[in-house]
Amino acid sequence: MNTKPKGFTYTKVAYNYISYFKDGKWDEGTLREDDKLVISATSTALHYGQQCFEGLKAYRRKDGGIQLFRVEDNARRFQRSADRMAMPIVPVEKFIDAVVKTVKANEAFVPPYGNHESLYIRPFLIGIGDNLGLRPAPEYIFSVIASPVGNYFAGEAKPVDLIVSDDDRAAPHGTGDVKVGGNYAASLKPQLIARKNGYAECIFLDPSTHTKIEEVGAANFFGITNDHQYVTPKSPSILDSITNRSLKWLAQYVLNLEVLEQDIFINQLDKFVEAGACGTAAAITPIGSITHLGVKHTFPAHEEMGEYTRKLYNLLTGIQFGDIEDPNHWITKISLH
């Protein structure tokens, strides 16, 4: 039974994984059918945002097999996020085992090869149990849910228009570099305003000086220059995107681009011939324009995906869907029987 995904929306699948942390240790973890949680109304996740999450995908290959992309990197980032939120870490092997079990149990929901659809996997960790004061929770849930998904941005491959937000999503030494709900809560209103004004999304500037590009609400930013450079921001308050890490490698070693991680000033966008947003959900979404203080900067590649963005897109998705050989031990094949 295959449920056709519609964009990036939730479709209930057959099973999800759940494991409890109590008395200082994790239980075995189980698969269950119910996707509802019953937790104390005083859970720290609800009141103080003590939680973190991850996002990765299971891809259907042409031969019908299923594979994960860089799952171990997600496991390690999950540990950094948990630690920052004063939560117990989930061992890497437990994380991978939970993801693999969830994918196997929902094999029928992994979309067929061919339409760039996939099974989105959302591991999360929340503080639960009775608690009122501001302190870490006494107990935790680690769960993995999944849903078939299509494109995150409408009209994938068509450049999108973004607007710079006046608000910040993260503080200079805050939690911008980890994947925790609070960052996303802070980005919801700016995102709503952007969409109401006809933009696909908003883009955030650095919280200290508001002069440099940070990232999009759910994706990193990159630009391509005329001098064959792949440029992406370096900042302590953005998420270390696993997709961006992969693109940096592909840009350098496959496309022979010079890879630069540096400040990208919002008033110096004219050095880019192409720009894009990259992430698990967004894959690679080309950016056609960025509006800042009422001025719209349009990139030369604004009608179609630019040449190098296209090459990166084809390489990345080719590896993820198994059409291009894995260059770097990025792929975990799921054995189905």
Q: Which amino acids are annotated catalytic? A: 179
Rg of the chain in Å (alpha carbons): 20
| Partner whose binding site includes residue 105, from ligand COI, ligand PLP, none (CB under 5 to 8 Å by kind) | none
- Residue 15 beta carbon to ligand PLP: minimum distance, rounded to whole angstroms: 23
Q: Which residues contact 19 (CB under 8 A, 6 or more apart)?
A: 26, 27, 28, 29, 30, 94, 98, 141, 142, 143
Interatomic CA distance for residues 108 and 15, integer angstroms: 11
Q: Interface mask (CB under 6 A) for ligand COI, residues 206-225, using x and -?
A: ------------x-------
- Residue 242 beta carbon to ligand PLP: minimum distance, rounded to whole angstroms: 4
Cα dist from 259 to 45, 73, 213, 255, 325, whole Å: 39, 21, 17, 10, 22
Closest by Cα among 159, 268, 259, 156 to 205: 268
Tell me the window of 39-47, 106-114, 274-282, 324-332 that interacts with ligand COI (CB under 6 A): 274-282
Closest by Cα among 200, 120, 211 to 168: 211
* Residue 220 found at the interface with ligand PLP (CB under 6 A): yes
- Residue 282 beta carbon to ligand COI: minimum distance, rounded to whole angstroms: 6
| Partner whose binding site includes residue 242, from ligand PLP, ligand COI, none (CB under 5 to 8 Å by kind) | ligand PLP
Closest by Cα among 157, 131, 152 to 46: 131
- Residue 243 beta carbon to ligand PLP: minimum distance, rounded to whole angstroms: 3
| Partner whose binding site includes residue 215, from ligand COI, ligand PLP, none (CB under 5 to 8 Å by kind) | ligand PLP
The residue type of 11 is T
Nearer to ligand PLP, 207 or 279 (CB): 279
Q: Where are the alpha helices (DSSP H) in 85-138?
A: 92-105
Tell me the window of 32-40, 141-149, 216-224, 296-304 that interacts with ligand PLP (CB under 6 A): 216-224
Q: Interface mask (CB under 6 A) for ligand PLP, residues 269-288, using x and -?
A: ----------xx--------
35 in Cβ contact with 16 (< 8 Å): yes
Backbone torsions φ then ψ of 13, nearest 5 degrees: -105, -175
Name the residues that contact ligand COI, by CB under 6 A: 55, 184, 218, 279-281
Name the residues that contact ligand PLP, by CB under 6 A: 55, 215, 218-220, 239, 241-244, 279-280
